[in-house]
Amino acid sequence: MAEPTLNYVPCADVNGPRRMAYWQWGAADAAHTVVCVHGLSRQGRDFDVLAQSLVARSAKPIRVVCPDVAGRGQSDWLKDPAGYAVPVYAADMLGLLLHLKPVTLDWVGTSMGGLIGLAVAAHAQSVGVAVRRLVLNDVGPVIEWSSLQRIGAYLGRAPSFESLQQAADAMWAISSSFGPHTPAQWLELSRHMVKPLHDGRVGMHYDPAIAVAFRAVTEELAAAGQAQLWALYDGLTADTLLVRGEDSDLLSKTTAQAMTQRGPKARLVEFAGVGHAPTLIAPDQLDAVGSFLLG
């Protein structure tokens, strides 16, 4: 498998300098840039298969950029855990776009990455770009409270494991909703989810403090935020594809259908046997996203 290049961009922060890492595939000088942003506890290498597929399928040069959101992967951790929230993440991404200077910009956002995409699309003109096509992967303005409770039950733990395989097995126990994967596929998805520890074991890649702001959200606050998210969604000018796992507990069928009727009137594609969230490595998922972005 080809490897991406690892790059860094400085981020503005009142608590001192820090960097955000991003993985780059394809042609660095391509006019067409696709930014792929991961979910809450994941990192940019989740998109390896999608990035390689887009580069291979594109008739013209293309650049696929997959950031590690602050506190994840190779990016710096925040000194103030309260900053682990969409406004800070979106500001970091706008700084990244200012650095990348894309001519044509598309966005793929899984779960949290989709919420960041909504915020970025609303403010992209401030850095001289516009989101042309937007893929929202299993996320919308209404996030089911039961799903947030499920995620909160494991987020922020700092376990260690004897091996990558042991870590992969533990992650599968809480991630089986991602849908069918071969052992090899899951091991590859897990490889960049861990980092070596001083005692020879491996631990999770992210700052456990990402759970602080997440756990501060109450059911009432989540409900209050829906109006703001709907306003961002309704204001979208980007051509929008909504990807949904048919068994998703985060994005309800009702919300997904509403998203096809208002705002950008997203095209909806659902995948059977998958919950939250599709990993975009199965051939049918790759084809849906690739055809939308490159068609």
| CATH no., domain 5-145+222-294 | 3.40.50.1820
Give the mean pLDDT of 164-175. Answer: 95
pLDDT in the model for residue 1: 56
Q: How confident is the model at residue 156 (pLDDT cuts 50, 70, 90)?
A: confident
- What is the rounded distance in angstroms from the CA atom of residue 167 to the CA atom of residue 204? 8
Q: What are the CA-CA distances from residue 193 to residues 40, 61, 250 (Å)?
A: 12, 29, 22
Bigger pLDDT: 215 vs 133:
133
pLDDT in the model for residue 99: 97
Q: What are the CA-CA distances from residue 236 to residues 161, 224, 229 (Å)?
A: 43, 20, 11
**Residues 113-128: tens digit of each pLDDT:** 999 999 999 999 999 9
